[in-house]
Structure 1
């Protein structure tokens, strides 16, 4: 146990993960240890800009900022942070951070020489341990704060009046730390204007006070464009350590505004809801002449009424879950609160709670002559964007503040009389859907067992009759028959008993038995014929080995007993038949291996070159795209350093339609052998719009060439740009080998500008029906595991539903509207069962949501796909077959879906988590074993990771090796010539049953928490993933779980962490070109942009199909513009602790 450093001063540290970085697991661990070391931690969460972090540190008068940065761009990020602190006169604030192996030793040295206090490397972690690193960080930050340095020529009162943030922050610190010095520096009696009204907000813990404050601030800023607001938020200190988690900021999106000041205070005493320095803080803010001050308490439920001593008006926030109505008599604040909000009004019993609280308020305030319905008690859902109840509450609060203080706050905020009503993603009557699926599937399994027993007894009768009669009974569709009339009485009795028992067998199951021999013979024949979408396909059923043996592509069991045959068909079956355990199609597609070609770096041109390199000579082009973090968070490239450093790093930079055209140029996006996968989630609808329009314009280009319209089109484009006096967009650099330029003719324009409307409409219709590919777009797993949510959850799900609805209406049959991803759940630390259970649960949630929107399951089912990770654990050997079986049983028997919708299609990627930065050459061995699992389990597509991805962006050489792994398995490995090699294995069947039941048990656990969305509210999924991650890391660390070259079988040098010889990053030229592309777009399309952005906002407000509008908007607007426009009508994602 490491010794803990005890700070001599009250140390305040701001913690966060860098901009466009969702990797918050490390900073969460760090902030817990920092707090336990006795510090006050202001935690901001992930995806925080330098300006947000620096402004917070200054407002909070922090000693230090502790950051993690795992997504690249750290050089620019940390230097910009240092420069901004210096510029704002806060150079005393220490900066510490880390980023695993992402930050190279040479960069750590450079950044620390620049002025960063300390950056910790993985080797530091091994040497010092977690507590040792925190001790070092806290010791470096252990100095007194609150030293008052006034702007030149101004006294403290003028500085406050000018709202000098440093003065405000340090005065409050002075009050907290050196009260005598505070009163020497500041005399409240000398303040001229003390009229700022104070709104006190208190309530029970977990009532959603932080979210409510954020919503009130948002409305205030809209309502009063010139006014300012200050917040004081109080959280409890830990009695044992003196540390405190000041976590309100993480829930607030509206406070990053120059008109808002926020200060978080720790109580610095136990069992009290307020800091004893609250009054001084309020005095300082009144002297700064803020127009409204909000004081929010920690809500520990012991002394809520204490807030009344410091506020002019008060709001009490509670939830409907207070128990019996008599409990209300015990709540002191109902005697004193001016207004009451019953938040989380979507909870069960909310309407009864509203009635009871209104009556209690009436009694407590002796308002007997007023109708209870007119009591100032409001039902609210603060977490829901633009909630009508919260609108009413806000208006009532402002009116009450004006009434009690005469403040100059005349609200013009428009409200409706609607009551808060949850916009349910899943109707309340359907919250048991996962347990219903579990019951359905278990019911099916039980029926299989009973039917198998009936079939086995029938087979016993059959063999007995055969033996006693001396004849082979004929098996017919009705039963069995024996020719002749010389049967003994016993045989006749047995035949009668057979017929009687057969009545207990399902007719379908009898047909399975009677057609078994026919099925076996079909696979023995040299050629097998089957149909896919009315097209007949003929396949050779055997391949010849070098030893001239005929190796069957599908091997069937040699069962004779009917019960064994029936159980096998109902639970296993051949590939291509329900329940699809062994595969979706009778045979694998010939001439198209499941290899995905993964790329993403720099600008679109560089990734285009990589795509052409990795697909050279391949019959099918299966392009898989990784985007940079700027794109992943729906932003545009820009010059600001914390953005600039991330452009084109760890993925490709794409911000507009022209980028998409260049990215996929030279690939025919409508060809049956081309498919494109896009790993994008939050802004997925916009990237999908770019892609679809790029594909449409490719076909417009083909039409232009086929009809000899090149000169005419060229003249039209030239005229458009000459009129505006601007250069035409171009591909940056030479075209790579294999790129014929398809898709580049219409750079800067779209097909509808150069072709007649009817021709364009026909091309668009045909293109949408032809394109093949996948967009990830799985917002549920983002909230649970990965953190690239950008919109509020409800709005993000609505966008997903709009995309699917558009796909149905436009006959988009070959493109998946979502890739329901377990990969990122596994990468965050989940074990294979949790990965599978959470992923399938998310999939069924989308099914329920789309059904609730009136979509037909047979129309949307084929547009759903899945994405799994493949590790080395035993459960990974069966992850695909279990997924297919659970999905097929549920879709067929629970939802009544057709065969195509029953087929769970999935992409699989070898585990990134199993790539280790020690002995990196060993990673290819792990990847090979994982690829073998995937191919044997009949995955639909596969990506094999490069061995060096543990330390850097993979090189062309390492990518080629990774692709060779699966090519060698598919082309050279003899057993892989068989397409169901694991079927029939005792351990595989046992594992399949064990994993299937474990998944169904997890479904029941999720149901107990209100379904997937209910479980997300309590962070069940995220907590479970983190627990499993910690379990693995603990076993890895102590050596209980052996990892070759990491904790055992180490080299003579101890297998140190490998540092890459070179790191592949975007060049300055690429970054500048991307910014220039965006700026050029805005100059060219300025007029159209404004009109279309307003149009998409209007459609969103009117509940129209947003994606239909995005198909037009993405022709002219940049990604960041669209994201900002949708924030205003759909709300931003609210981070969780």
Structure 2
């Protein structure tokens, strides 16, 4: 194997299905792979993240793929890959080769086991080092460069049926190939064979076409979901066309990724590349349509590639045509150029929630009226519909669907009847408003606010400096004016000018100038004394070193120039003082370290033991909970191999309230020295309800033990109230970040945001003041590949989006802003040195100057985790060195809590030994490292000042770029954040593979004594069979114990959702009788399921 940089040129049209495994959101690697595959001339059917084996196999079968390429970074890989091979064989597709990778997570012994089982190749980090990214792709493509169906002919067209998808798929391949090869014997033979197989079958063909980015796939999916629900015995074939890249011959066939309806066995989808047709349809499409007809599908849908104004090729191939567009077509005169408006039976103006959509609806109706010459017809009766396919159960889509059924009946002789009530009007009646349209430039306004603040600082500092200089000059001259009486008028003029300049001081400037001498005095002694409610508290200001040196806890600048002091107070200031650049609290807590170690493995009993180990010698119990991927995606444990393999791996399995009670048993959750962080997002409302009920249950149990009786109803309410007022902790629950980076979204985005808002309203109503309702997270954005500036900019932008959303719901800034917290990664780049201080400064200035928020709301509090991406499976002992440096940066920058990764996390869930070492890193910094005794060590360093200003301006510039795309939600719709993250990930991986980015022990300073194929032997932490079975048994027992209550509870929950009431308040009751999976499935039905994006 040698490193190859040039793409291999395949001799055949190769088709590969790519995906990340079930309950795995780590799609950075598979996105890099699918892009390089496309560049190597491969037609890639990309499924995205969190794909089950059945979904992968279904796609591979229907697409007649040569291979599947799978990434698996979340554990359970042995079961996942083996199950893929087994299921392909069960579907008579054992010829499809399986390729995979998982970084260092899949160890050499497991690679051998999998390849022996039948997986063609598992690529290891060592393969990447030796072959390079392009070399690995070339190896894959060479391995499958052959023609499918050689030796098979038109006789295969007989006896096609929806129940034989592999046969239908192969006939489509051969029919398409024959048509592409031109008119001749083979083409005519296939045409005749399919004509014979069709007989009298005449299923209707619906053509869906439209501009690129108009949401054709999402709208197709929504129409399909309604059709499948209304007609439980009907089958559908979807033929989806995407363009081929002329230069490489590769293609991204990405429509499957958007379609949730494909889980139904009654839907068959085949993706087609245009293969040089130069049109929005493939030359072989007619043969593929005939194959679907011959197979007997009840409805055939053809979705074309994005088209221009003059394209209407699909019309000749279909019975009914639907043209999909958006309001962004320019002037109304542009409509006259759109060919499809002459031919379309139906027109959908999708994304109807965008500005200008109502005008677009009016203009398109008028244009269709003109095109049809229907001058005496009301334009409102034209078949033009305003739809929001991204919105769950949109009535505009339903109106379009009902019109489509009418056309199928009247134009195609179908007899389709639906029980759905008729929809009034032709457009969406309600638009979910997250950020009001008039507030869409909020990020640009924040950038202006921060820059304006600094401009005012500069202006005021110049005046202060001038006043200081004039006063000094005045004092010098005043010493000699007695000798020269002519100086008196000049001195009088100088005093008048000083007085005039001082009138230009702002009120804050006066206050800061008066405050500085007092601050210097307060910090000059050996103790800092402050009062709280008439009580005096003393904080030591000095630490004495072994050499007898007195190390100040907080060090002050020694400048004399008041302009310089003023600039520093406005841009930096001491810890605990606005703008909180150096930290939000004056001093670090002495009763607890900032340490918060992430833990979770196996069943709740095992993780409970790990929590007790981690907090054994600590003054405070600061627990951080990692959930297994099954739980993170809102599912219950199951015996199915691709689920079973992940139960209790890479986190703890939690699916019921009883599990949560076990998890935190032995910890008093209302103790002021106990706090719990839960890293969970998609099903966060359910997990939070589990947790709050656990805390309440503990206190109810305590009451019963103390009083030897159950509490009365009023006593229960009082206990609940006290628990909610007291409990400390954080739930991550950051849905925007999930859509951009980590991918554990499970509900439709609007619905997930609604539940976040409901949680915050519940917190305000019940005075939950010590628990953060969201941890706005940049860590997972960084892990997905973003550089530190993008991580910070995207994360802060998400935070300000929540602010705007909560304000739009009528919440007051000071009621909710203190409940928001942040979570960042610390990597090896220089910008990480200042990530916290920049975040604090931007947040505090925006909160005070723009939102008029109070001091508590101005304080940005954040957790830091050292970079998981900087951990490498080669020379893993070096990982602790990287982690130590990153942790030191975090401590210097006054993070509020810190998790240090274990060195073996590149390979496995941390073991007790590795966690102890990771914990020791923090203890050594906090207890032994001399400079850490000072709490503002970064202040005053020229490079830190330079980096702070540089990173801040880069973040503000990113705010403006996001604002230009309609804010965070508008940018998400176009995939801006995701694309930028992927580009930065590719940049990092490329530099790593070329060696231009040196990584010690990985691409340089390699160990000459060690064969790189042999990894360091580490203990692999995996859930045991006993723990997995225990979870299955406990779940079954829970379901049986609550079978009489659960169905009623789920119906009550759905009713609350549909009535628009507070969902979290009802979840607090639902979780008492329903499991996580039951609740998730129930909410899908009324709130919608997440739709993946490319």
* Alpha-carbon contact 1:1045-1:1055 (below 8 Å) kept: no
SS at structure 2 position matched to 1:46: coil
> Which runs of structure 2 are paired with 1:543-692 in the superposition (5 Å)?
543-692=543-692
Deviations 1:317-369 (A, max 9, x none): 11212222222222221111111111122333222211111111111122222
Shift of 1:846: 0.7
Shift of 1:184: 8.8
Does residue 339 in structure 1 map to residue 346 in structure 2?
yes
* Alpha-carbon contact 1:234-1:264 (below 8 Å) kept: yes
Instruction: Specify whether residues 534 and 300 from structure 1 end up closer, same or farther in structure 2 by C-alpha distance, changes over 3 A only.
Output: farther
Distance in 2 of aligned mates of 1:948 and 1:73: 17
Distance in 2 of aligned mates of 1:315 and 1:770: 57
Shift of 1:922: 2.0
Matched with 1:422 is 431
Distance in 2 of aligned mates of 1:243 and 1:442: 46
* Alpha-carbon contact 2:32-2:982 (below 8 Å) kept: no
Matched with 2:926 is 970
* Alpha-carbon contact 2:572-2:580 (below 8 Å) kept: yes
Matched with 2:889 is 933
SS at structure 2 position matched to 1:607: helix
Relative to structure 2, which stretch is displaced further, 827-836 or 795-804?
827-836
Matched with 2:395 is 388
Instruction: Specify whether residues 276 and 559 from structure 1 end up closer, same or farther in structure 2 by C-alpha distance, changes over 3 A only.
Output: closer
Relative to structure 2, which stretch is displaced further, 979-988 or 667-676?
979-988
Does residue 77 in structure 1 map to residue 80 in structure 2?
yes
Distance in 1 of aligned mates of 2:251 and 2:565: 64
* Alpha-carbon contact 2:678-2:732 (below 8 Å) kept: yes
Does residue 321 in structure 1 map to residue 321 in structure 2?
no
SS at structure 1 position matched to 2:1042: helix
Shift of 1:284: 2.9
Matched with 2:935 is 979
Shift of 1:245: 2.3
Relative to structure 2, which stretch is displaced further, 422-431 or 458-467?
458-467
SS at structure 2 position matched to 1:1110: helix
Matched with 2:262 is 255
Relative to structure 2, which stretch is displaced further, 299-308 or 578-587?
299-308
Structure 2 residue corresponding to 1:942, chosen from 887, 898, 904? 898
* Alpha-carbon contact 2:840-2:860 (below 8 Å) kept: yes
* Alpha-carbon contact 1:148-1:167 (below 8 Å) kept: no
* Alpha-carbon contact 1:147-1:174 (below 8 Å) kept: no
* Alpha-carbon contact 1:793-1:1133 (below 8 Å) kept: yes
Distance in 1 of aligned mates of 2:533 and 2:1030: 45
Distance in 2 of aligned mates of 1:360 and 1:378: 14
Relative to structure 2, which stretch is displaced further, 946-955 or 528-537?
528-537
Shift of 1:994: 1.8
Deviations 1:470-494 (A, max 9, x none): 69xxxxxxxxxxxxxxx96665544
Shift of 1:467: 4.3
How well do the aligned residues superpose, as a CA RMSD in angstroms?
A: 2.4
TM-score, normalised relative to structure 2:
0.95
Matched with 2:998 is 1042
Matched with 1:907 is 863
Distance in 2 of aligned mates of 1:463 and 1:42: 75
> Which runs of structure 2 are paired with 1:716-1115 in the superposition (5 Å)?
755-1053=711-1009, 1056=1012, 1058-1115=1015-1072
Distance in 2 of aligned mates of 1:811 and 1:647: 36
Matched with 2:144 is 141
SS at structure 2 position matched to 1:595: coil
Distance in 2 of aligned mates of 1:1043 and 1:15: 29
Distance in 2 of aligned mates of 1:1087 and 1:1028: 52
* Alpha-carbon contact 2:900-2:921 (below 8 Å) kept: yes
Instruction: Specify whether residues 532 and 67 from structure 1 end up closer, same or farther in structure 2 by C-alpha distance, changes over 3 A only.
Output: farther
Distance in 2 of aligned mates of 1:534 and 1:1043: 56
Deviations 1:135-178 (A, max 9, x none): 3323333344348999xxx9965x43563223322222231235
Matched with 1:696 is 696
Does residue 527 in structure 1 map to residue 527 in structure 2?
yes
Unaligned runs of 5+ in 2: 180-185, 481-486
Distance in 1 of aligned mates of 2:354 and 2:597: 47
Distance in 2 of aligned mates of 1:148 and 1:797: 55
Deviations 1:622-664 (A, max 9, x none): 1111111111111111000000000111111111111111111
Matched with 1:513 is 513
Instruction: Specify whether residues 280 and 1103 from structure 1 end up closer, same or farther in structure 2 by C-alpha distance, changes over 3 A only.
Output: same
Relative to structure 2, which stretch is displaced further, 320-329 or 1053-1062?
1053-1062
SS at structure 2 position matched to 1:860: helix
Structure 2 residue corresponding to 1:234, chosen from 216, 241, 264? 241
SS at structure 2 position matched to 1:262: strand
Matched with 2:214 is 207
Instruction: Specify whether residues 616 and 226 from structure 1 end up closer, same or farther in structure 2 by C-alpha distance, changes over 3 A only.
Output: same
Relative to structure 2, which stretch is displaced further, 259-268 or 364-373?
259-268
SS at structure 2 position matched to 1:811: coil
Structure 2 residue corresponding to 1:88, chosen from 91, 99, 117? 91
Deviations 1:580-637 (A, max 9, x none): 1111111111121101122111111111111101111100111111111111111111
Structure 2 residue corresponding to 1:1128, chosen from 1065, 1085, 1088? 1085
Matched with 1:743 is none
Shift of 1:672: 0.6
Instruction: Specify whether residues 348 and 453 from structure 1 end up closer, same or farther in structure 2 by C-alpha distance, changes over 3 A only.
Output: same
* Alpha-carbon contact 1:239-1:270 (below 8 Å) kept: no
Does residue 274 in structure 1 map to residue 281 in structure 2?
yes
Distance in 2 of aligned mates of 1:185 and 1:251: 35
Shift of 1:272: 2.0
SS at structure 2 position matched to 1:515: helix
SS at structure 2 position matched to 1:48: coil
SS at structure 2 position matched to 1:294: strand
Distance in 2 of aligned mates of 1:660 and 1:650: 17
Matched with 2:483 is none
Instruction: Specify whether residues 867 and 599 from structure 1 end up closer, same or farther in structure 2 by C-alpha distance, changes over 3 A only.
Output: same
Matched with 1:716 is none
Shift of 1:1054: 6.6
Instruction: Specify whether residues 136 and 333 from structure 1 end up closer, same or farther in structure 2 by C-alpha distance, changes over 3 A only.
Output: same
Relative to structure 2, which stretch is displaced further, 517-526 or 664-673?
517-526
Matched with 2:440 is 431
Deviations 1:1008-1048 (A, max 9, x none): 11111111122221222222223333333333333333333
* Alpha-carbon contact 1:791-1:1133 (below 8 Å) kept: yes
Distance in 1 of aligned mates of 2:715 and 2:472: 69
Shift of 1:1136: 1.4
Does residue 27 in structure 1 map to residue 30 in structure 2?
yes
SS at structure 2 position matched to 1:47: coil
Distance in 1 of aligned mates of 2:921 and 2:35: 42
Distance in 1 of aligned mates of 2:290 and 2:33: 34
Deviations 1:1075-1111 (A, max 9, x none): 1111111111112211111111111112111111111
Distance in 2 of aligned mates of 1:358 and 1:501: 64
SS at structure 1 position matched to 2:983: helix
TM-score, normalised relative to structure 1:
0.91
> Which runs of structure 2 are paired with 1:92-111 in the superposition (5 Å)?
92-111=95-114
* Alpha-carbon contact 2:194-2:294 (below 8 Å) kept: no
Instruction: Specify whether residues 1080 and 40 from structure 1 end up closer, same or farther in structure 2 by C-alpha distance, changes over 3 A only.
Output: same
Distance in 2 of aligned mates of 1:528 and 1:788: 46
Matched with 1:707 is 707
Distance in 1 of aligned mates of 2:132 and 2:121: 15
Instruction: Specify whether residues 332 and 405 from structure 1 end up closer, same or farther in structure 2 by C-alpha distance, changes over 3 A only.
Output: same
